[in-house]
Every structure is written in C-alpha cells, then in structure tokens.
Amino acid sequence: MNPTRSAPAPPTPADTSTVEDRARALQAAGVEATAGGRPDVGTRTLRSGLRLLGWSAAGSGDVHPPTELDSDPHRNALAARLLISLAHAEAEQGHGPLGFGLLDLAATVVAPAEEGILLQQRGLLLLRAGHLEEALTFLNRAEPSLSAHGQHVVLARTLLNRAALHLYTGRIRASRQDSAACAELAASLDLPLLAGKATHNAGYCDLLTGDIPTALAAFNTAERRYAQHGPGFLPVVVAAKARTLLAAGLATEAGRMLETAIADFARQHLTRDVAEAELWRAQAALEAGDLPAARRWALTAERHFRRRGDQAFTARAVLMRLRAEFPTTRSSARFVTRAQRAGDQLRQAGLARDAEMADLLGIRALVAAGHLEDAHARMARQRRPRAPLDAILMRRLARSELALRGGHRASAYIELRAGLAALHLHRSTLGSPDLQAGAAALGSELAAAGLGMAIEDATPRLVFAWSERARAQAFRIPPVRPPQDPELSETLAELRQVRHLMRTAELEGRKEPGLSARSGELERVLREAHWRLRGPGASKPVVAIRDVLSELTNTGLTNTGLTKTGLTNSGAHRVMVCFVSRQGRLYGVVVGASGVRLCPLGDRAAAEEATHRLLADLDALAGRMLPARLEEVIRGSLDRQLDILTDHLLTGLRGELGDADVVIVPTRALSSLPWGMLPDLRGRAVTVAASASVWHTATTAARTPDPSPTRPPLLVAGPDVPNAAAEVAEIATVHPRSARLTGDAATVAATLAAIDGAPTAHLAAHGHHEPESALFSRLELVDGPLMAYDIHGLRRPPRHVTLSACDVGRTTVSTGDEILGFTAALLYGGTSSVVASVARVAHDAAVEVMCGYHRAVAAGVSPARALATAATAAPLAPFVCFGAG
C-alpha cells in the first residue's frame, strides 16, 4: 500500500520572471513526479530548485544550506518545502537516512504555519520505514495544525496515509473512517486522483475483512481513476488485485501479477514497493506449494527491507521465510525460538495479526516436537476471536494438531470441521466459480489432515464423509448469473470477434501476435468482472451417505427430456466409487447395496502419468492417416496405459464392482480419464461426477418434471466440421420437433437464445479446453466462439447436453478437486448430464457414436447406458457421461 503516489510524469515548469517563481514551479513539478511513481525524476527536479535558491544540492548525496541563510522568510519557507519534498523522493529510492536528514534541515527554516506539513512528511517517512506507532504520533500531531492553517490538500494526504497505517496495524474501523474523510475532502477540493486513492484504501479494508468482491470493485474503480489522472500508480493496483487473488486462493494467477508489478516498480525506482511486492510473491509461492521459491522471495524481500531500515516489514519477511521452512524444520528447537522471536518483533512493531501467525507457527512446532504442555500454555494465551480468515484456519489447524498429539482424535476432528465450515461460509460470499474453486486452497491443510486421519482410522463411512467435505465444494453454492452490463457486453463482443480472426489466421497458417495480446487483455477484463460477482451467502448441504445409498438402489424413473414420455430407467444396480489419495497412494470408497468399503489401490503418480499418456495417444490417433508402423507403436502405447490404469485403479475393486453400473467420483487428473475405455468398465453404464453430492443433486433434479415441456430440443452444427450437418440431420430424425442451426444460422447469439431453457442440446462443433483460462474454453461457431463464460449467463441451461467436439470434456482441476471448463460450467449451472469427449475424436467416430447414442436415449435408455452401448461401435471415441447419468 502506498497511497501517496499518483500523478503522471512532471510537466516542465514554465519560464518565470523571478528565482522564487521558478523554484516554486520546480517544487510543484518534483512533487508531481514523485507522486506519479518517478522519484528519480522528482529528486533531480527538486535539487534544481534548491540550487536556484543558493543551496548546495548536487545530483546525489547530502544537501547543504548557503553559507549565510537568507533573511527573507518567504525564501526560507520555499527552501523548506523543497527539502520536505526531496526527503520523500530520496526515501522512496531507499535513501531513508538521507530523507530524515533533509527533514531535520527543513526544520531549521520551515515557516511556523507549515510545521504541520513537516510533521506529516516525517510521519510518512516513518510509515514507509516501518516505524508504525511513531509514524502515527506524527500524523496525529500534524492533523490539527494542517486544519488550523487551511492546508486542506496536505490534510487529505495525511488522512490517506494514516488510513494506510491503520491497515498495516489491523485497525480496520479507523482506516475506514480516515479513508472516508479523505474521500470527502478530496471531492470538495476536486482532487479525483486523491479520491481514487481513498477508494483504493477502502478496498484494502474490504479485503482484510474478507469481502473480496467489494474489494475488487473498489480496486477497479481506483484503477479507472489512476488510468485517467495518474498512470504511474497503476502497478500498485496490480499488486492490490494480486493480494486479493491470494486471499481467494488463486496463488498462481497472483504470482504472475506480482511479478509484473515488481518489474514496473523496479523501473520506477520504487524500492519499498518492490520489497513489499516481493513479500507477497513469497506468499504466492508458498500457497502454490513451491517452498524453495517462497523462501528465496522472502529472503530477497527481507534483505531489501533491512537495507531500508524497515524493522516492521523485515519482521514480516522473516515470518514468511519461517512459514516456507516450517514443513521441513518444524520439530527443531531452534525453529520454535525463531518463531517466538519473530512474534515478539512483530508485536513490538504494532503488527498484531502477523504476530498471531508467528505464535501459531511456534505452537505447531512445539506440537511437532512433542512439547505439549508448553504448546497448551501458549495456545491458552491466544485471543482475537475476530481474526482474519487465514488466522482462523491456522488456529483451527494448530488446535487440531495439538488435540491429535494429545490423543483426543474426536476433538481434532471437531477443530478441522470448524475450520472448513468457516472457509465454506467465506466461499458462499463469492459469486465467481473461479474464486469459489480457488478458496479450496486456503483450507487444503485442514482437508488433508481430516482425510488422512479418516484413512488411518480405516472407517469407510468416515473417509466418505471427509471426501465429500474436501472436494468440489463450489458446486454447493447456488450459481450466480452475471447482471447485464453494456460495457462488458461490448468487451465480450470484441473478444468474440478477435477470437474469430485468430481462428481464421490459424486455419490460414498465419500468426497474429497483436490479436493474441488483445485477446488476453479482453479476457482479463471479463474475468475480473466475474470475480466481482457477490455470492448468495447460502449453500446446499453435503450429501449424507444414507441418501447416496438410497439413490443408488432407486429403480425410479429419470426424466431426461429426450423422449416423448420423458421417462427412462436403466434397470441395473449401481455402485459408486469415490477415489481419494493420501501420501501418493490411492484408495477407493465403494458405496453400494452391500454397504460401504474402503479399498487400498495403487500409486497416484503412476495412474496420473498413464492418464496423460493415454490422452496424448488418443489425440495422436484421432482421425489421422498415420504410417502403419507409427500407428502400431501408438496403439501399443495406448494398450499399455490402459493396463497400467487397470492395475492401479480397478484391480483392487473387482470383488466390489461385480457387473454393476458404476458412478465414478475421480480425483485430480483422473477427472479427464475416459473411464469407459478401461477393459473392466467397457460396456458398462459409467457416470463421472465431481462429488457424490454433485451426483445426488443432479440425479434428483433429473427426475423432476421439465419446466418447459413444449420447448424443442436444439441441434447445432458448427463450421469446418466434416459431417456435422449430416450428424445433425440424422439426429433430427430421432427428434423431429428439434430446432436446427446449421451453416450461417449457427451463430453464437442464435445458439444462446435457443439453448436457454431448451430441454436438451446437441452441439457438433470444433472445441477446445483452455487449461490456463478455463472460463474461455469454447466451441467454435460460424461467427466466433461460444465460451464457458457465456454458459454462466444462461437463466436455465438445458437439462441434458451432448458435445460432439474435441476435448471439451476435459477440466482444469485445482486443489480440492474443484473443476473448471466448458462441461463444468454446464454442470455448475444446473445441467443434469453432459456427454462430452476428453480427447480428440475422429469425425466419423463422433457421428457414429452420437447418432447411436441419441437413438438409444430416444428409446428410453439412460444417458450412461446409451453411451456405453453406442461406444462399442467406436472403441477409441473417448466420450464420457458427466453428472447424473
């Protein structure tokens, strides 16, 4: 946070008739340069002003007054203002001692009426040097003097700086008050840039209280004002947004943004901002699981803060380094001592929140070392019931570890459940699936601890319960439809056009880097708008195992909306397998008519590697005329991967599965596995669901009456897909009432209008899953892409969707088995079942499978059973039935 900088590069002072006028213009220009993020330019400009007044002020180093000070008080007062401004410019470049020396020099010539300006500048330098309580004293002393002498602009800046100080020390209410007062004063003085900074500070208040959508909205407002009135301040907004993403669990995205901010700060010679961004970059690495990188970034930040003499932030960097070292050194006595020392230093600096984190880290180290009595004593001294979410989760984890080490497993479970409940309450305030999914990372240690304990206890029902508590929690939040926004609609339309041009260039063998860059910028704008959506604050409960058992044995009818009667019934018994992992080992929780069992399986890494190789082999074979020898090699590899997957995933389950239909709840990379291709599952009705809760909700919803029974099914044929029109025509014979969009009619707008509320939709189009930007996974239509972003805007997605397209069944899987992508967007929005491919698929095979599938479903067969039957005609077609089945 640095709300003191703001404006563009300094204007050149106009020629004036007197030395004083020229020095005064240089002082204004120097202030503007420093405030605009160019303290190096500000320094040169301000030193020029001092030299005009006869002071010795070379390009760098100390400043000396004239041999005899001028007797003109106005001239001395001007020199004081130049010195005060120069002190800030020098300090921003890491020359803290020089800055304080310049303030001491200014004190000898400052006018009595401007002592408040000197006080507030000393307070600012102390704030930027990490001497927070001392800084507060000076800022408080400055306020009445500035007010009394009508120095309202400087008063507004003082309020802004004091608001930032309160943020560092965790006094959120006081920060809000000062930010609001600054905004009001800035508005009355017509200072839009300063008002933008006050909004920026208010956003930090929202961030620290956990209100991420409101924080992002505030930062977005500040960004617009900076772009117009002070572009030098834009990197600070990038860093602020990155911190917000860190709080939401999106560590990788935050890390990229912080590296951009660090480079911008370095170009502007803003050494303190560089160091602070490095500190947050360390946390991003820590949250992403890259401990060596976290330690390197923390050490770099620590050196920079120490060089500046910033004791408070040096202590924060030390704490970050300790957090990175904790997993490998937690039980050492030296680590306990270091954590305690860090906590004491942070408390002394007024950083109570950070001190609490250091204390909790020390308690966890004591527990690991077996010093339970000391750990209990320190835990008893912990207070702060209104701590931020990260401290709440850390405290629950520490209390759980302490209870477990003391032999109180029930208490340990209680602490872990309470921590995850607090996290889920926070998740329910987020409207973006991106952020909802990212939140799982914040509780990953809690979830892993609970699941690990349950597996150790070898209690199948307990493992099932923790599996459901730890996976795909975003699906429990009712979807939030983005509001209509004309500006975003224009952005989306431009993105679609840019993507269409990129696709045309790709087909013509051309590269268009300018289009790619513009696409990335438009995606950023749309994604950030999505992040600002507010959640409903409510959620569906995790499914109870008795309800899963009841649904698995239910022989009732399912309404798919695909037949004249709308009724289907597989007639076969079903078994659910929930895959979980611990310490690299896979386990299967089998739920069926015979009860609940926990089966140890194979190696997770081997299964994931085989999944990646299998998908690569399928992509290589799809619709290509390969040399016979090469095709033989690839098919041999494919068969080996299937054997490896069978060994690690299914061999240990054969006694449990029998001949039952199977509901698969996968984990991690297994979410993109074409399960029906595994020999043990070939020919069975196989359904894949993100969690048992997701499956139960989708299956229950599929039996409810169709709210729009008169709406026709939708069939769409995209461009450049051989046989797409023929495929749609063949399926239309099964659904004669269907609405068809082919050729030039298959536009994005027409498809969205027809698909919203349709009972079912079949889309035959080129598609692609975007692993790094799942919100923009897409199907290619005649005028551009239909994206997952569009799906989130549907009022009522179809009950059933088939995607005859390459790899749009793939998902991006993040911590907590949260899934994102085109198929995931449909399921998240309420679609009961989606049939999609997880790899490339040959066009003729897709036509054969899809036509056979639709014929079977129209005859009353369930989607999963229909797919199993149709897939026998094309064994290498990697279609999967997701959702209800």
Please check whether residues 695 and 595 belong to one and the same domain: yes
CA pair distance 527, 770, nearest whole angstrom? 14
Residue 769 has pLDDT above 50, yes or no: yes
683 and 714, same domain (yes or no): no
The two three-digit tokens of residue 621, written as one number: 């074979």
The answer, yes or no, to whether residue 7 has pLDDT greater than 50, is no
Q: Using the 3D structure, point to which of 505, 531, 557 is the last residue of a domain.
A: 531
Could you read off the pLDDT of 52-71 as tens digits, one per residue? 998 998 877 789 988 777 77
Pairing of strands 800-804, 574-582: unpaired
Which is it for strands 574-582 and 784-787: parallel, antiparallel or unpaired?
unpaired
Question: What pLDDT does 570 receive?
Answer: 46
Residue ending a domain, choose from 679, 699, 719? 699
Radius of gyration of the chain (CA): 31
Smallest CA-to-CA distance from 690 within 838, 473, 492, 381 is with: 473
In terms of domains, do 804 and 745 share one?
A: yes
Contact present, 33 and 41 (Cβ < 8 Å): yes
Evaluate if residue 11 carries a pLDDT over 50.
Answer: no
Q: Is position 615 within any domain? A: yes
Question: Which tokens is 748 given?
Answer: 């994005």
Q: What is the pLDDT of residue 17?
A: 57
Q: Which residues contact 771 (CB under 8 A, 6 or more apart)?
A: 810, 812
In a domain, 834, yes or no: yes
Query: Mind listing the pLDDT tens digit for each residue in 242-262?
Result: 999 999 999 999 999 999 999
Enumerate residues 6+ apart whose C-beta is below 8 A from 176: 163, 202, 205
User: How many domains, in total, are found in the chain?
Assistant: 3
The single-letter DSSP state of residue 803 is E
Query: Does a structural domain hold residue 506?
Result: yes
729 and 868 in one domain? Answer: yes
**Confidence band, pLDDT 50/70/90 cuts, at residue 384:** low
User: Assign residue 130 a region: left if phi > 0, alpha if psi is -120 to 50, beta otherwise?
Assistant: left
Whole-angstrom distance, CA of residue 252 vs CA of residue 814: 11
Output the six-digit token pair for 690: 């993100």
* Mean per-residue pLDDT, 682-687: 96
What is the mean predicted confidence (pLDDT) over 716-745?
94
- If asked whether residues 830 and 769 sit together in one domain, one would say yes
Task: Assess contact for 379 and 363: CB atoms under 8 A.
Answer: yes
Looking at residues 158-168, what average pLDDT do you find?
96
Candidates 614, 601, 661; CA nearest to 868 is 661
> Which tens digit of pLDDT belongs to each residue from 654-678?
999 999 999 999 999 999 999 999 9
**In the predicted model, is pLDDT for residue 9 greater than 60?**
no
622 to each of 115, 507, 625, how far by Cα in Å?
Answer: 77, 18, 9
Alpha-carbon separation of residue 243 from 101, 216, 304, 680 (angstroms):
34, 10, 20, 47
What is the percentage of the chain residues whose pLDDT exceeds 70?
95
The answer on 554 and 614 residing in a single domain is: yes
How far apart are alpha carbons 859 and 599 in whole angstroms? Answer: 37
Give the chain's length.
Answer: 885
> Does residue 571 sit within a domain?
yes
pLDDT digits (tens, 9 = 90+) for 689-724: 999 999 999 999 888 887 777 789 999 999 999 889
In a domain, 729, yes or no: yes
83 within 8 A of 125, measured Cβ to Cβ: no
Axis-axis angle for helices 372-380, 389-405 (nearest 10) = 150
Q: What is the pLDDT of residues 423-447, one digit of tens each?
A: 999 999 999 999 999 999 999 999 9
- Amino acid at residue number 75: R
Residue 800 bridge partners (DSSP): 760, 833
Q: Report the alpha-carbon distance of residue 660 to residue 674 in Å, rounded.
A: 18
Supply 380's token pair: 């008893």
**Residues whose CB falls within 8 Å of the CB of residue 778, separated by 6 or more in sequence, listed in order:** 499, 767, 768, 770, 785, 786, 787, 788, 808, 822
Edge-to-edge strand ranges of the sheet holding 661-665? 595-603, 585-592, 574-582, 661-665, 686-688, 879-883, 833-837, 800-804, 760-764, 714-717, 739-741
Nearest 5°: CA angle at 575, between 572 and 580? Answer: 160
**The pLDDT of residue 885:** 87
Instruction: Identify whether residues 877 and 842 lie together within a single domain.
Output: yes
Q: Are 287 and 278 in contact (CB under 8 A)?
A: no
- Looking at the structure, tell me whether residues 858 and 775 fall in a common domain: yes
Is the domain of 809 the same as that of 825?
yes
Q: Give the pLDDT mean for 385-411.
A: 93
Look at residue 765 and give its three-state secondary structure: coil
**Assigned domain for 402 exists:** no
**838 within some domain:** yes
Last residue of a domain, one of 498, 531, 564: 531
pLDDT at 772: 84
* Same domain as 691, residue 616: yes
> Are 523 and 639 within one domain?
no
pLDDT > 50? residue 583: yes
Residue 16 has pLDDT above 90, yes or no: no
- Expressed as residue numbers, the domain containing 731 is 706-883
Q: What is the predicted pLDDT for the residue at 521?
A: 95
What are the φ/ψ torsions at residue 359 (nearest 5 degrees)?
-60, -45
Cβ atoms of 41 and 244 within 8 Å: the answer is: no
Q: How far apart are CA 217 and CA 824, in angstroms?
A: 26
Contacts of 385 (CB under 8 A, 6+ apart): none
Indicate which CATH number applies to the domain containing 745: 3.40.50.1460
Degrees to nearest 5, angle at CA 570 with 569 and 576: 120
d(CA 301, CA 312): 12
- pLDDT tens column, 545-572: 999 999 998 865 444 445 443 434 445 6
Q: What is the pLDDT of residue 331?
A: 79
What was the pLDDT predicted at 807?
Answer: 87
pLDDT tens sequence across 624-637:
889 999 999 999 99
- The pLDDT of residue 555 is 60
Q: Are residues 790 and 864 located together in one domain of the fold? A: yes
Nearest Cα residue to 733 out of 566, 845, 855 = 855
As a whole number of angstroms, the distance between CA 441 and CA 838 comes to 25
Report helix angle 444-457 to 389-405, nearest 10. 20
Please list the alpha-helical segments (H only) found in 209-351.
212-229, 234-248, 251-267, 271-287, 291-308, 311-329, 333-348
Give the Cα separation of 646 and 639 in Å (integer). 11
Residue 117 lies in a domain: no
Mean pLDDT over the full length of the chain? 92
pLDDT number for residue 103: 96
Contacts of residue 452, defined as CB under 8 A and 6 or more positions apart, other chains included, come to 582, 583
